[in-house]
Amino acid sequence: MSNADKLNPNSRPIHAGPDPDLVNGAVSVPIYQTSTFSFDSTDQGANRFAGSESGYIYTRLGNPTTRALEQAVSELEGGYDGLATATGMAAISTTFLSLLKTGDHIIGTDSVYGPTRILMESHLDKFGITSDWVATEDLDNIRKAIRPNTKMIYIETPANPTIKITDLEGAGRIAHETGALFVVDNTFSSPMLQNPFEFGADVIVHSMTKYLNGHTDVVAGIILAREADLYARLKKSLLILGGTMDPHQAWLVLRGLRTLAMRVRTAQENAERLATWLQAHPAIQWISYPGLQSHPGHELMKKQMKGPGSMISFGVKGDLETAKTMINSMKLATLAVSLGGIETLIEHPASMTHAGMPKNEREEAGITDDLIRLAVGCEDFDDLKDDLEQALAKANFEVGVG
Ligand code: LCS
């Protein structure tokens, strides 16, 4: 294991994880592109299966490249250990299936990545697990939703796509007073900006498709557990459910992870300047960015995050057509879902990432039809501002608003 935890935050992603290759001295962790591992003898095979001898068996059960990534991210988040998964949704579904059973109840943030809520409301409901999705930025809503069978409180903050902020410490306290597990989706912050274990999280999930990989070329996820027993339960489920990670995928994420600190810093600097500029723009109806004092979660952000990140939501003056014209007019920013890559992406959640949610649920969660989500990347600020400026001018000019 490296001593990355003793380094300053900007150095840590570069050195997190085990020493790459003690045999040949490779500086980058090698890709162990193998599905299975040979045994010296039947006794050795039996011992590895029995767990009395360490060593690899079969890549669904463990692989050195994937293990290096798990150790690296786990060093960045703290906690006991991590389990890399094929996608972020595999991390979330494994967490739910592993830690909940028939009759249990979960309370979640109403504005979450659409499929997280759909998974619970339209798939796990079949197994008799019930859920309530509430505006967790007001802790009273969590308290009111508690039932005797509440076994998990699931918080996404900053939330997708509203960028609402929930008080992690407060939500964690309620979970533990209730005897429920406290699970946090930390995708929007990455470990650079928020470390939910510090605020009582029992389990953290990430879509590593986003900031941790950062290059829009891999889908991936990870589950991190605070305690050894939770890790063991999650591991047992993951290995049998099968949502584990491929070694080549792990290597790509590990490569992306090395530049996490500088990517997060550059994108955040851009987002802070763009949000300030957008807020003052006459074509903007509203904006949600926790770095702005006008954001209701601004003080909370300062308390629990190391920075406001690079996700911005906003509405433009006019109607849905104005919003669509604005989005379609962007030239540098790409019209695509996902986030956390080096390039800036723009999307329309109500018709894209969150289209699978019933309209009434979407609106109650603040995912209005006019919401435009901007995932700010690492381009030059002036290029991004110019792009937004010409798109806003085009939208306003075309519909005669502003
Ligand atoms: N958690 C959050 C907060 C997410 O934003 C996503 C994906 C996931 C989990 C699931 O991760 P995946 O399985 O895709 O790796 N969010 C997306 C989004 O906002 N646009 O496209 C995907």
Cα distance between residue 315 and residue 358, in whole Å: 20
| Residue 224 backbone zone (phi > 0: left; psi -120 to 50: alpha; other: beta) | beta
- Cβ(91) to ligand 1 under 6 A? no
User: Do residues 340 and 232 make contact, with C-beta atoms less than 8 angstroms apart?
Assistant: no
Cα distance between residue 232 and residue 219, in whole Å: 24
Arithmetic mean of pLDDT, 27-40: 96
Arithmetic mean of pLDDT, 1-8: 75
Residue 143's H or E segment, with its range, is: helix 139-145
Residue 313 has pLDDT above 70, yes or no: yes
Residue 1 has pLDDT above 70, yes or no: no
Q: Which of 188, 209, 337, 376 to mutate to test the pocket of ligand 1 (most atoms within 8 A of CB)?
A: 209
Q: Which class does domain 261-394 fall in?
A: alpha beta
Residue 265 has pLDDT above 60, yes or no: yes
Task: Dig out the tokens for 382 from the structure.
Answer: 């002036």
Residue 66 has pLDDT above 60, yes or no: yes
Enumerate residues 6+ apart whose C-beta is below 8 A from 211.
Answer: 187, 189, 190, 192, 260, 263, 264, 339, 340
- Cβ(87) to ligand 1 under 6 A? yes
Q: Which of 85, 112, 116, 160 to mutate to test the pocket of ligand 1 (most atoms within 8 A of CB)?
A: 160
- Cβ(207) to ligand 1 under 6 A? yes
pLDDT for the residue numbered 350 = 94
Residue position matching structure tokens 């894209």: 352
Helix then strand then coil, % of the chain, to nearest 5? 45, 15, 45
Enumerate residues 6+ apart whose C-beta is below 8 A from 302.
Answer: none
Task: Dig out the tokens for 381 from the structure.
Answer: 């600020």
Q: Whose CA is nearest to atom 21 of ligand 1?
A: 338
Q: Whose CA is nearest to atom 22 of ligand 1?
A: 338
pLDDT for the residue numbered 397 = 72
The pairing of beta strand 311-316 with beta strand 284-288: antiparallel
Cα distance between residue 321 and residue 286, in whole Å: 17
pLDDT tens-digit readout, 194-218: 999 999 999 999 999 999 999 999 9
What residues pair up with 346 in beta bridges, in sequence order?
Answer: 335, 374
pLDDT for the residue numbered 399 = 63
**How do the domains of the chain map onto residue ranges?**
4-257, 261-394
- Cβ(186) to ligand 1 under 6 A? no
* Total Cβ atoms within 10 A of residue 3: 10
* Residue 83: DSSP 8-state: E
User: Do residues 105 and 151 make contact, with C-beta atoms less than 8 angstroms apart?
Assistant: yes
pLDDT for the residue numbered 389 = 97
User: Do residues 276 and 292 make contact, with C-beta atoms less than 8 angstroms apart?
Assistant: yes
Q: Which of 155, 210, 213, 310 to mutate to test the pocket of ligand 1 (most atoms within 8 A of CB)?
A: 210
Cα 200 to averaged position of ligand 1 atoms, centre (Å): 23
Cα 4 to averaged position of ligand 1 atoms, centre (Å): 28
From the number of C-beta atoms within 10 Å of its C-beta (0-12, 13-18, 19+), residue 179 rates as exposed
Residue 3 has pLDDT above 90, yes or no: no
Cα distance between residue 118 and residue 177, in whole Å: 27
- Cβ(338) to ligand 1 under 6 A? yes
Catalytic machinery residues:
60, 113, 185, 210
| Shortest-distance atom of ligand 1 to CA 156 | 3
Confidence of residue 184 (pLDDT cuts 50, 70, 90): very high
| Packing angle of the helix pair 114-122, 88-99 (nearest 10 deg) | 40
- Cβ(339) to ligand 1 under 6 A? yes
Residue 55 has pLDDT above 60, yes or no: yes
pLDDT tens-digit readout, 102-138: 999 999 999 999 999 999 999 999 999 999 999 999 9
Question: Which CATH topology does 4-257 take?
Answer: Aspartate Aminotransferase; domain 2 (3.40.640)
Arithmetic mean of pLDDT, 282-297: 97
Identical fold, 4-257 and 261-394: no
